Amino acid sequence: MSLSARNLSFAYNGAAVLTDVSLRLEPGRVTAILGVNGAGKSTLLKCLGGLIRPQRGGVALGEKKLGELSRRDAARRIAYVPQSQQAEGMTVFEAVLLGRRPHMGLRPSRRDMGIVEGVLTRLGLSALAFRRLDALSGGEMQKTAIARALVQEPDVLLLDEPTASLDLKNMLEVFAIVRQAVTGQGVAAAAVLHDLSQAMRFADDFVLLSRGAVLARVDAKGLTPEIVRAVYGVDVAFGEVGGHPVAAPLGVADAA
């Protein structure tokens, strides 16, 4: 199911953060949200997830406005993974099981438990299942948060810098798991990313923000060094290594 935003505008204490932002997340595709620090990427993701309400514009899941969904229904259909995680007083298994809460009755079913166990296995977290969150590394915490989102079996997956605390191996594993959910289950996903080469390898579509406005909405073929220069103020060269696209920064662009 698609998630669309139309003419979103948002301000903190009167200071504009998003201005007239429109986009559409399609099932089976990953959209990378790109831009410099302070461009409004995380704020946009929170608006898409219904965590904050825009002053103007709206968000719809399929044909239904987000505000028309019950909190339980919205929690079943949209999963959000924030930048930072809190080390709550529970185990990894308990934390991930919370992702099933919108689907559960008074107690988790065998299916709920099986889904949690399966995701823990796929993310390499089974050995940590009964370790307390406050004993985890930053990378393990991040993978636990992603596992919690995946067990929701959402229609839409929103990830805010999902690989920020991960080493290369874990980064590739997480991308592979997310891609499997996107292509195998028809999930519509969006991820705020800072590494352009990561984004080019992982994403199908790109939304590039500049000062809270959409400068470009393109697919992989439409992403050009000229667009990157306009957004980041950096000259880049695109290439390919091992069959994967890469972006090599050449230097700060000439202001002229």
Residue 105 placed within a domain:
yes
Q: Residues 218, 42: contact at Cβ < 8 Å? A: no
Q: Which residues contact 93 (CB under 8 A, 6 or more apart)?
A: 116, 120, 129, 130
CA–CA separation, 154 and 131 (whole Å): 26
Residue 232 placed within a domain:
no
Residue 254 placed within a domain:
no
Q: Phi and psi at residue 209, in whole multiples of 5°?
A: -100, 145
What is the pLDDT at residue 126? 96
Residue 79 placed within a domain:
yes
CATH of the domain at 84: 3.40.50.300
Residue 113 placed within a domain:
yes
Q: Exposure of 143 by Cβ count < 10 A (0-12 exposed, 13-18 middle, 19+ buried)?
A: buried
Residue 247 placed within a domain:
no
Residue 249 placed within a domain:
no
The pLDDT tens digits of the residues spanning 59-68 come to 999 989 988 9
The pLDDT tens digits of the residues spanning 8-22 come to 999 998 899 999 999
The pLDDT tens digits of the residues spanning 81-124 come to 998 777 678 999 999 999 999 888 788 999 999 999 999 998 89
Total number of domains constituting the chain: 1
What is the pLDDT at residue 187? 94
